[in-house]
Structure 1
Amino acid sequence: MKRSDNLLVARGLTDFEDRLITADDLLSELQENCGGCLPGVVAVPELLELVRQGRELGLRIAREFHAYDGADEVSGFVRIHPLSDEIGGCELFVENWQRTPPKAGSTREMADRLDTIDRAAAEITIRLDQAQRVQLLDSSATDTTAFEDQVTDNPGKVWTHYVDLQGIAHQQPLHWRLLDGVECRLAGSERPWRVRLLPIGAANGAPRGFELLLVADRPIYEESQLDDSEYSPQTRFIGSALTPVLRQPIARIIANAETIRAKLAGPLKSEYSEYAGNIASAGQHLSGMLDDLTDLEVVEAPSFSTISEKVDLGDAAKRAAGILGVRAQNRAIKLEIVNESEKVIAQAEFRRVLQILINLIGNAIAYSPEGSTVTMATAGNYAGVVSVSVADEGAGIRGDQAEKIFNKFERLGRDSSGGPSAGSGLGLYISRKLALAMDGDLSLAPISGDETASGAEFTLSLPAAS
């Protein structure tokens, strides 16, 4: 390592698995501060990507990089020299190494982002006055009835009166900053809870009040949910255990990825901001799959039923198209509703009809070429049946694919390398289950034998309203 007035140079060596094997002090310190070890996979995302590109392509790369080591922002200019195929790996030369304190605004923005995440995750929200006395409580938790009763029966006390603080033996109330982040226990709940105290406004240098958030360290899990004999063991595990356990961590992944994408945690090169956006999209996709697993549990329960009401199928199609309008615009796909003004009334449940149409239109958008049209059309009363269809201009569904399209976990006969990202394979299965529960059906129109024919058309048939 060499040093001049404003120039620091560090060297490192990686192997064929992109592990940093040797490194000068500066590079070794950055590796450890970013959560890596020596030897270990390069822990700086930008450097790792450059090393991987240089190794795989066998090209020399010279580029600026940025990193955050937990205290300062680090930047430099790195030269990647791939080694021979027999040796593998790359040699790194880092020049113009600089450290700068993070921007003052980024820390505040990051804190605000974390506060937003905790607000979304909190199951109990309490409004406190300036003396930390409870004024208003709102809870969505199902295991805190005893705690809520305590507050109701003895109103107006300092919030610490109602909870059991963990690791705090001092007389209460302490200064609010000393209580922000501590753990506590609530009467009737077996889950540990984390306290967030967020000040509201300021009066003579002190907050006018507080927003108290109680965030559980894990989702509620009720054994009674697993004892219902109406559900199969596989469905009980998916719907009652797996889904609630995963939902909160996935929500945090999405929120953190969005924080990185928006560069609220510090400066970041555009390509890495895009990577974070991809992570957020993948998290949202996984969240949608969890919704499918929840719906699977519902529709497979023997006791499942729908309500009966009059549903305007044209209006339902219009609403579904509106919900998915932005997604269609992103791919320059036109959503067209035929006979929109005609009243075609079904006897069904509006919420379930809308759910089916959103799934059908979403699939049509995903599997249609850019610049094409997805068409929705309603058909009037025929032998006591009305219908709404969704047709696209995609590759279509032929042969054995059409025969098993409504099977559980079937993904339209396409793998993830041939088109849109594969979903859960449950959307059409659940949609048909919903249609059958409303005394209707969901069908796929057979494609003609003409090899030039394309597109798929799904039709939801329902009883006509009397």
Structure 2
Amino acid sequence: MRSDGTVLARATSDGEDRLIEADEPLAGLHLRCGGQLPGTIAVPELLELVRKARRFRFPLARAVSAHDGGDVITAWVEAQPSETGDGCDIRVRNWRSAPMPHEDSTASEARRATTDRQLAELTATLDAGQRLLAVETTSAELVALAGAMESGIGRVWTEFLPPENVAHQQPLHWRLLDGTRVIVPGSGRTFHVRLLPSMQPGFDPAGFELLLLSDQPPPLAPTAPGTALPSNRRGLVGQELAPVLRQPIARIIANAETIRTRMAGPLPDAYAGYASEIASAGKLLLDLLDDLSDLEVVEARDFQTAPDQIDLGEVSRQAAGILNVRAQERGITLIAPDAAQSLPAIAEFRRVLQILLNLIGNAIRYSPEGSRVWIRLEPAGPMARVVVADEGEGLSLEEQGRLFAKFERLGRKGDGGSGLGLFISRRLARAMGGELSVESAPGQGARFRLEVPADPDAG
């Protein structure tokens, strides 16, 4: 431990890491951070330093940082286990104050969106005209609302969530609706919506992600027996476990993201890294819950889809629009069918979109940076085909044979997948009277082919 330099302030702590007495400027910082004298040390990095020194009975020293209003304080602090008690003697030898650096608004908004996604009790995918494409909820209180929205796929979302104090009718610019309070029928809580656009700079949004949030906790009553969640979700995971587990896991993720991004105050890089790992593990758990819920659905004996007349070109463009931002982050170019291309089919729009999102998402995840992913339409006699092709490493014949197996990840580690996406996608394709297959070779990328019945009435 260094002993040079003037001691600017002294303090003492007890065996419970409470600050018993302190000189200025440490005492003032402790009080402004919400502490009391005597009281638990309120500066997080100082608390960690003192706790370790007391626990290991070994003197420690390090630079400690803290937010103090609009300034960042950096101080060199030494913690020496007391010879006469269970606490520590604390010495401050250096103290510097600097204005807090301006935070990039884009990064701040991205963090806010990440947190809101974890706390949302209902999410919906919208097209460029704010029309509903898919709806998902984990809240028993919102089951009826989600069911009504699912029945109204293709209609504007404000028909089901009317904004408060907005007299104008749709279409309204999405920025006027982002953050507005909405009326949720049958609920006594207040809700607001967030609209997250999928867009490239200089272009209009290709679609939106709608998040329904409330600052009030949901009711604790469990899902009523026999009540099925939207998307045919039922069974132990989908109906009972997922709604109970999702909210606390989402809170863990949101708190971890707050720590990781240092929104609650400065932290060493190591602690921010730990918080990042916690958030990633939480997201993995949420994704696994979703996949297990879908697995229950597609393996149920009475599972059925709701086929309708759809345009595979439109579904493909919607899927590409939703994932375009993720592709851009990896430098990957998505090439979707242009607006003039159409391929009529008989299938369930939402399920086809779910399959394409999985195929395109996998292509983005496993393709090299700077490569391309194509989404092509191909008539195939009585079938209508969508092909998702990439420039990835490709697959051997042995890997192709295992690819659609349950929980199969082909030995990949750390990519966050559950190994259920392709299994579920193939089951969905077959439930619609179609098929999902792959054509590939090592070093030549992969071509995933989704086939569903063509629309015989199309001209």
Go from structure 1 to structure 2 and tell me whether the alpha carbon gap of 1:6 and 1:121 turns closer, same or farther (over 3 Å shift): farther
CA distance in 2, matches of 1:45, 1:344: 64
Task: State the one-letter code of the partner of 2:312.
Answer: L
Assess if the C-alpha contact under 8 Å between 1:46 and 1:272 holds in 2. Answer: no
> Residue by residue, what CA displacement relative to the aligned partner does 1:205-226 show, whole Å, maximum 9, x if unpaired?
xxxxxxx965247572445469
- CA change 1:292–1:46 in 2 (3 A) is farther
Instruction: Map residues 344-359 of structure 1 onto 2, 5 A cutoff.
Output: 344-359=343-358
**What residue is the counterpart of 2:166 in the other structure?**
none
Structure 1: stretches of 5+ with no match in the other structure: 12-24, 37-41, 49-60, 81-92, 104-112, 124-138, 145-192, 197-211
Unaligned runs of 5+ in 2: 13-20, 23-29, 53-59, 80-89, 101-111, 123-138, 145-187, 191-213
Report the counterpart of residue 441 of structure 1 in structure 2: 435
Distance 1:94 1:329, change over 3 A: farther
Q: Percent identity?
A: 44
* Residue aligning to 2:409: 411
Q: Give the Cα separation in 2 of the matches to 1:455 and 1:143.
A: 41
Deviations 1:357-411 (A, max 9, x none): 00000001111111111111110142x0110011111122213321121111111
Cα deviation, 1:290-343, whole Å, max 9, x if unaligned, reads: 222221122121111111212211221111111111111111011112576322
How many matched pairs?
Answer: 325
**Alpha-carbon distance between aligned partners in 2 of 1:433 and 1:306, rounded to the nearest angstrom:** 11
Out of 444, 448, 452, the residue aligned to residue 454 of structure 1 is 444
Q: How far apart are the structure 2 equivalents of 1:45 and 1:256?
A: 22
Specify the alignment match of 2:48 in structure 1: 44
Counterpart residue number, 1:242: 241
Question: How much does 1:120 deviate?
Answer: 5.2
**Structure 1 residue 282: Cα displacement:** 4.3
Pair 260,391 (structure 1): closer, same or farther in 2 beyond 3 Å:
same
Flag the 1:348–1:217 CA change in 2: closer, same or farther, 3 A.
closer
TM-score normalised by length of structure 2: 0.56
Query: Relative to structure 1, is the Cα distance of residues 321 and 274 closer, same or farther in structure 2, using a 3 angstrom cutoff?
Result: farther
Q: Does 1:96 align with 2:93?
A: yes
Alpha-carbon deviations, 1:177-215, whole Å to 9, x = none?
xxxxxxxxxxxxxxxx9x99xxxxxxxxxxxxxxx9652
Matches within 5 A, 1:177-326: 215-216=217-218, 218=220, 220-224=222-226, 236-268=235-267, 273=272, 276=275, 279-326=278-325
Matches within 5 A, 1:367-446: 367-382=366-381, 384-416=382-414, 421-446=415-440
Cα-to-partner distance string for 1:76-121 (whole Å, 9 max, x where unaligned): 43799xxxxxxxxxxxx98637699xx9xxxxxxxxx9xx98x957
Preserved CA contact (<8 Å) 1:239 1:296:
no
Letter in 2 for 1:462: V
1:428 deviates by 0.6
1:66 alignment partner, SS class: strand
Letter in 1 for 2:288: M
Q: 2:76·2:95 contact (CA, 8 Å) conserved in 1? A: no
CA distance in 2, matches of 1:324, 1:428: 17
Root-mean-square deviation (CA), in Å? Answer: 5.3
Mapped to 2, the partners of 1:305 and 1:348 lie a distance apart of: 11
| TM-score under structure 1 length normalisation | 0.55
Instruction: Measure the CA separation in 1 of the matches of 2:225 and 2:240.
Output: 9
> CA offset at residue 258 of structure 1?
3.2
1:457 Cα deviation after fit: 1.5
